[in-house]
Structure 1
Amino acid sequence: MAAAQAPLRPWNSNLQHSDRERWICIYPAYVNKKKTRQEGRRIPKENCVENPSFQEIRDVLQVLNLNVIVENKQYSREKSKELAYRGRIRVQLRNNDGSPILKEYPSRDSLLFYLGKMIPQLKTRQSKPNEQPVQQHASGSGGQSHKKGKGKRR
């Protein structure tokens, strides 16, 4: 009779909020604008980012001085097995007494909305669109680069 009452995953009452098993998990798919709700997106599209990486999520959360760990895990709903889609972030949200570490971000959802707002402001995101057209114009006007397309080879 005791076996029927035992939970599938036993809860250890000795775990503290500082134990890594109690930290929340964030996969990049949670804030990916290109994913549907069924594919794992957790917040509305207007608050999401296109193809965030686990490195970007880690960088944004480290600025908040939260305890962050990167794990090499694949999201179960992710169809692609490529390395670019791997990565899970674990974040400590609560102190051992149960109070939030940061009062502005007491829950996973509040942290996901913050990620959606801050990832586009990263320098790596802002420099990509500006650098590409400049490089294209510079290589096109100079005529020195023959790697751009198949048409004009001499």
Structure 2
Amino acid sequence: MDVDLQNIKKWVILYPIYINSKKTLAEGRRINASKACENPTCTEVYDCCTHLKIPCVIETEKAYPRDFMQRGRVRVMLKKADGSFSNPAITSRKQLMLQVAELVPRHPGRTKKQEAATSAAAGSSKSGKGGKKKR
């Protein structure tokens, strides 16, 4: 991929909050909650953009303005310098957010985390009742 780093400031910004189903519209979600995914990370968004063959760069030092604890954002080159789209199937920010939100749950790092979480939850919920008896 030929990435023009001089014009990186003109690229579209994609914060993970934009596609986070746990956030409200007021908190910064930009797409329908039913189409959004749970707590996406900056690297997952970046990996999904590279999978879609769209030039992108992670900016880890940057934070979301409304919630400065949310670190990281992804700069995406939707249009090339000549005005043509990097990926002809994706012609707007909204389409990009919907595509990325669809891909994030299938991210290889995420599927491993979910398997570990489900096996840990199954192991810890063996005892039915516990605690002290009432007198």
- Please say whether Structure 1 and Structure 2 have the same fold, judged by a TM-score greater than 0.5: yes
* Shorter-chain TM-score tier: 0.7 to 0.9
User: What secondary structure sits across from 1:46 in the alignment?
Assistant: coil
State the percentage of identical aligned residues: 33
If you compute each CA radius of gyration, which structure gives the higher value, 1 or 2?
A: 1
Question: 1:110/1:139 Cα in 2 relative to 1: closer, same or farther (>3 Å)?
Answer: closer
Is residue 99 of structure 1 aligned with residue 84 of structure 2?
yes
Question: 1:64/1:133 Cα in 2 relative to 1: closer, same or farther (>3 Å)?
Answer: closer
1:65 is aligned with what amino acid?
K
Q: 1:123 corresponds to which residue?
A: 108
Q: How many pairs does the alignment contain?
A: 122
Q: Following TM superposition, by how much is the alpha carbon of 1:65 offset from its aligned partner in structure 2, in angstroms? A: 2.3
Provide structure 2 residue ranges, at least 5 long, that are not aligned to the other structure. none
Is residue 76 of structure 1 aligned with residue 65 of structure 2?
yes
Q: Following TM superposition, by how much is the alpha carbon of 1:130 offset from its aligned partner in structure 2, in angstroms? A: 2.2
Provide structure 1 residue ranges, at least 5 long, that are not aligned to the other structure. 1-15, 142-150
Give the TM-score normalised by the residue count of structure 2.
0.79
Does the Cα contact within 8 Å between 2:55 and 2:86 map onto a contact in 1? no
Cα RMSD of the aligned pairs, angstroms, is 2.2
- CA distance in structure 2 between the aligned counterparts of 1:30 and 1:66, rounded to whole angstroms: 18
- CA distance in structure 1 between the aligned counterparts of 2:31 and 2:124, rounded to whole angstroms: 41
Q: 1:47 corresponds to which residue?
A: 35
**Structure with more of its chain in strand, by fraction:** 2
Q: 2:15 corresponds to which residue?
A: 27
Give the TM-score normalised by the residue count of structure 1.
0.70
Q: Following TM superposition, by how much is the alpha carbon of 1:140 offset from its aligned partner in structure 2, in angstroms? A: 8.9
- CA distance in structure 2 between the aligned counterparts of 1:116 and 1:21, rounded to whole angstroms: 24
